[in-house]
C-alpha cells in the first residue's frame, strides 16, 4: 500500500478469512484472560494486548494505524479531542520547569492551553512569529526548552509555517518539532517528510469531515533520538517508577517510546480516550478524505478568487492565491492544495461582517471548520474572544476577520450564496 488514496480506504485493517469487511467496533470496556499471569504480562508491558479501554482498544488502534500510515510515522494513538492530542504531545516530554517555543499563530484553544493552563503547571513558553528569521527563532531557545510547536496551516490565521526551518532549528537545539497538521491533513502535507518529529491532529475537522465526532490523534515519526538527549527527557530515558521501572526509550526504541509512554502513563492518568464508536465514525470519514480534500480545495480556491475580485472585500487570506503572503511557501509545502478555509475582511468592518454572515443561506454560522457543509465564523467574537485586540492582531485574526470553511457543495451554488450575502451589505 503506497498510495495515500489506497491507505485512506484500506489502511489500518486487513480482515482475515470470514472476518468483518468493515472495522469492528469493539464496544467493551474490558478484556478477558485465562490466567492472572497472562494479564500481568500486559500490565508489565511485556506482551501486547488489551485489558482496559481507557488505555487501548482494538477499534481505536486500527484507526490510529491508518492515520500513522497516512503520515508516514512509526506509532500513533487516538485521543478524545484535538486539545487532548496537543496536550499529551507536549506534556509527554515537558514537566514543571520546562520551556516550549511555539508559533504565535496557532489555534485559540492551543494558545490558551500553552500560555495559561500549562503555565500553571510550571511550563513556560516563548511565542515566535511564524514568519520569524532563523536568528529570531534561535534566540527563543533556552537551556530548559523541550519542544517546538507550530501548525502547518494555522487555524484561523491561515499562516503557513516554514516547517523545514523550524525543524532544523529544533534539532540544532536538541529538541523535537511537534506539528499540528489538522488543516492540510496528510493528503496535502506530510510534515514528517519536512523534518517534523511528532504530528498531531484534531480529527474533529477534515478527517471526520462530517461534523459528527470530536477526536484527536498523535503520530510519532520515530526519528527523534531521545537517548541522545537523555538529560532533557528523563521521562523517556530513565526508569518510570509508576510503571514497574520501565525505561521507555530503551525498551521501545525511537520508533515506539513516545506513543507507548503517552499511552501507558498519560492515558492511564488523564483518561482522554476516544470512544470506539467515535473511532468508527472517524474511519468512515478517513475512507473518503482524499476525495473530499480535493473538492474542499477546489471550492476554497474558487471562493478566494471570487472574494478577491469583489469591491466590498478589503482583503483575502488564502495561500492558493498568487500574491498571498504565503503563496510561495504553500507552493513548496502544499503543492496540491491547502484546505477549504478562506479568511477575509470586509471593507465595512465588524458591522458588515455581521450583516454578511446573517444573510448567508448555505453557509451556517458555527464554531466549526473543515466540515462537508460550508460554515463561517467571526473569531474575535467567538473562538478568540478571550484575547485582547493586540493579541488578536499578533495571532493574525483582526476583529473584522471572517473565517469561511468551504464545504464540498457545488462550487456555483457556494459562490451564488456568497454573492447575494455581499449584496445585502
Ligand atoms: C480544532 C482544532 C484543535 C482542537 O481540536 P478539538 O478536536 O476541537 O479539541 C487543535 N488544533 C487545530 C488546528 C484545530 O483546528
| Number of CB atoms found within 10 A of residue 269's CB | 10
Are 94 and 123 in contact, with CB atoms under 8 Å apart? yes
DSSP-derived letter for residue 275 is P
Q: How far apart are CA 313 and CA 316, in angstroms?
A: 8
Q: Which of 182, 285, 368 is the pocket-test mutation for ligand 1 (most atoms within 8 Å of CB)?
A: 182
CA 347 to chain centre: 32
- The answer, yes or no, to whether residue 254 has pLDDT greater than 70, is yes
Q: Which residues line ligand 1 (CB under 6 A)?
A: 81-83, 86, 107, 109-110, 151, 155, 180, 182, 202, 204-205, 214, 216
Q: Where are the alpha helices (DSSP H) in 162-233?
A: 163-172, 185-188
**CA 39 to ligand 1 center in whole angstroms:** 36
Task: Say how many Å lie between the first and final Cα of the chain, rounded.
Answer: 51
The pTM (predicted TM-score) of the whole model is: 0.96
Q: How far apart are CA 414 and CA 361, in angstroms?
A: 9
**Which is it for strands 198-202 and 177-180: parallel, antiparallel or unpaired?**
parallel
Per-residue pLDDT tens for 159-196?
A: 999 999 999 999 999 999 999 999 999 999 999 999 99
Counting from 1 in the atom list of ligand 1, the atom nearest the Cα of 203 is 7
Among the listed residues 351, 335, 325, the one whose alpha carbon sits nearest the alpha carbon of residue 154: 325
Mean residue pLDDT of the chain comes to 95
Of residues 406 and 43, the one with the higher pLDDT is 406
**CA 82 to ligand 1 center in whole angstroms:** 5
Are 314 and 347 in contact, with CB atoms under 8 Å apart? yes
225-250 average pLDDT score: 95
**CA 216 to ligand 1 center in whole angstroms:** 8
70-95 average pLDDT score: 98
Q: How far apart are CA 95 and CA 88, in angstroms?
A: 12
Atom 6 (ligand 1) nearest CA:
82
**Which is it for strands 341-346 and 313-317: parallel, antiparallel or unpaired?**
antiparallel
User: SS3 for 403?
Assistant: strand
Among the listed residues 125, 113, 317, 336, the one whose alpha carbon sits nearest the alpha carbon of residue 216: 113
Q: Which of 86, 155, 183, 217 is the pocket-test mutation for ligand 1 (most atoms within 8 Å of CB)?
A: 155
What pLDDT sits at residue 222?
98
Counting from 1 in the atom list of ligand 1, the atom nearest the Cα of 86 is 10
Lowest-pLDDT range of 45-49, 301-305, 365-369: 45-49
Q: How far is CA 405 from CA 9, 29, 50, 402, in A?
A: 24, 37, 39, 10
Among the listed residues 275, 268, 299, 304, the one whose alpha carbon sits nearest the alpha carbon of residue 81: 275
370-387 average pLDDT score: 86
**CA 183 to ligand 1 center in whole angstroms:** 9
393-417 average pLDDT score: 90
Q: How far is CA 51 from CA 38, 55, 58, 218, 275, in A?
A: 10, 8, 10, 21, 15
Burial of 179-214, coded b for 16+ CB within 10 Å and e otherwise, reads: bbbbbbbbbbbbbbebbbbbbbbbbbbbbbbebebb
User: SS3 for 33?
Assistant: coil
Q: How far apart are CA 193 and CA 69, in angstroms?
A: 13
338 cis-preceded (ω within 30 degrees of 0): no
What pLDDT sits at residue 223?
98
Lowest-pLDDT range of 16-30, 135-149, 275-289, 357-371: 357-371
- The answer, yes or no, to whether residue 79 has pLDDT greater than 90, is yes
Per-residue pLDDT tens for 32-46?
A: 999 999 888 888 888
Q: At a CB cut-off of 8 Å and minimum separation 6, what does 126 contact?
A: 99, 100, 101, 102, 140, 142
Per-residue pLDDT tens for 318-377?
A: 999 999 999 999 999 999 999 999 999 999 888 888 899 999 999 899 888 999 999 999
Q: How far apart are CA 382 and CA 402, in angstroms?
A: 11
Atom 15 (ligand 1) nearest CA:
155
User: SS3 for 7?
Assistant: helix
Atom 1 (ligand 1) nearest CA:
202
- The answer, yes or no, to whether residue 243 has pLDDT greater than 70, is yes
Count how many residues are written for the chain: 425
Q: How far apart are CA 22 and CA 5, in angstroms?
A: 17
| Number of CB atoms found within 10 A of residue 139's CB | 13
Confidence band (pLDDT; 50, 70, 90) for 1? low
12-30 average pLDDT score: 97
**CA 21 to ligand 1 center in whole angstroms:** 31
What pLDDT sits at residue 86?
98
What pLDDT sits at residue 107?
92
Atom 8 (ligand 1) nearest CA:
82
Atom 12 (ligand 1) nearest CA:
107
**CA 202 to ligand 1 center in whole angstroms:** 4
**CA 332 to ligand 1 center in whole angstroms:** 24
**Greatest C-alpha distance within the chain:** 74
Are 71 and 186 in contact, with CB atoms under 8 Å apart? yes
Q: At a CB cut-off of 8 Å and minimum separation 6, what does 312 contact?
A: 346, 347, 348, 352, 422, 425
Lowest-pLDDT range of 33-47, 229-243, 245-259, 321-335: 33-47
Q: How far apart are CA 379 and CA 372, in angstroms?
A: 20
**CA 60 to ligand 1 center in whole angstroms:** 19
User: SS3 for 6?
Assistant: helix
Among the listed residues 80, 85, 340, the one whose alpha carbon sits nearest the alpha carbon of residue 199: 85
E strand or H helix that includes residue 420? helix 411-423
Q: How buried is 325 (Cβ within 10 angstroms: 0-12 exposed, 13-18 middle, 19+ buried)? A: middle
Amino acid at each position: 500500500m503506497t498510495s495515500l488514496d489506497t491507505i485512506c480506504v484500506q489502511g489500518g485493517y486487513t480482515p482475515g478469512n470470514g472476518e468483518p469487511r468493515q472495522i469492528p467496533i469493539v464496544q467493551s470496556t474490558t478484556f478477558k484472560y485465562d490466567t492472572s499471569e497472562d494479564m500481568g504480562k500486559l500490565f508489565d508491558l511485556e506482551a501486547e494486548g488489551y485489558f482496559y479501554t481507557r488505555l487501548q482498544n482494538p477499534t481505536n488502534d486500527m484507526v490510529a494505524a491508518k492515520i500513522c500510515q497516512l503520515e508516514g510515522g512509526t506509532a500513533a494513538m487516538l485521543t478524545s479531542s484535538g486539545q487532548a492530542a496537543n496536550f499529551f504531545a507536549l506534556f509527554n516530554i515537558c514537566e514543571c520547569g520546562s520551556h516550549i517555543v511555539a508559533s504565535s499563530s496557532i489555534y485559540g484553544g492551543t494558545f490558551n492551553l500553552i500560555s495559561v493552563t500549562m503555565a500553571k503547571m510550571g511550563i513556560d513558553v516563548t511565542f515566535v512569529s511564524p514568519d520569524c528569521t532563523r536568528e529570531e527563532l534561535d534566540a527563543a531557545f533556552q537551556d530548559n526548552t523541550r519542544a517546538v510547536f507550530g501548525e502547518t496551516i494555522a487555524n484561523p490565521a491561515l499562516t503557513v509555517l516554514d516547517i523545514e526551518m523550524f525543524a532544523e532549528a529544533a534539532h540544532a537545539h536538541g529538541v523535537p518539532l511537534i506539528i499540528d497538521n489538522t488543516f492540510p491533513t496528510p493528503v496535502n502535507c506530510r510534515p514528517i517528510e519536512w523534518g517534523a518529529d511528532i504530528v498531531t491532529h484534531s480529527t474533529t475537522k477534515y478527517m471526520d469531515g462530517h461534523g459528527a465526532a470530536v477526536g484527536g490523534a498523535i503520530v510519532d515519526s520515530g526519528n527523534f533520538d531521545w537517548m541522545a538527549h537523555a538529560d532533557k527527557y528523563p521521562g523517556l530515558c530513565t526508569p518510570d517508577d509508576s510503571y514497574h521501572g520501565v525505561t521507555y526509550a530503551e525498551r521501545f526504541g525511537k520508533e515506539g517510546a513516545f506513543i507507548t509512554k503517552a499511552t501507558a502513563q498519560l492515558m492511564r492518568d488523564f483518561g482522554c480516550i476516544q470512544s470506539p464508536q467515535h473511532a468508527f465514525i472517524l474511519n468512515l470519514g478517513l475512507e473518503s478524505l482524499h476525495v473530499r480534500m480535493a473538492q474542499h480545495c477546489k471550492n476554497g480556491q474558487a471562493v478566494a478568487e471570487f472574494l478577491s475580485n469583489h469591491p466590498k472585500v478589503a482583503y483575502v487570506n488564502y495561500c492558493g492565491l498568487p500574491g498571498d503572503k504565503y503563496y510561495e511557501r504553500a507552493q513548496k509545502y502544499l503543492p496540491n492544495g491547502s484546505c477549504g478555509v478562506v479568511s477575509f475582511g470586509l471593507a465595512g468592518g465588524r458591522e458588515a461582517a455581521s450583516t454578511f454572515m446573517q444573510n448567508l443561506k448555505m453557509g451556517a454560522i458555527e464554531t466549526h471548520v473543515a466540515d462537508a457543509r460550508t460554515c463561517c465564523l467571526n473569531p474575535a467574537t467567538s473562538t478568540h474572544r478571550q484575547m485582547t485586540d493586540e493579541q488578536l492582531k499578533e495571532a493574525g485574526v483582526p476583529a473584522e476577520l471572517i473565517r469561511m470553511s468551504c464545504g464540498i457543495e457545488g462550487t456555483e451554488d457556494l459562490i451564488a450564496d456568497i454573492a447575494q450575502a455581499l449584496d445585502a451589505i
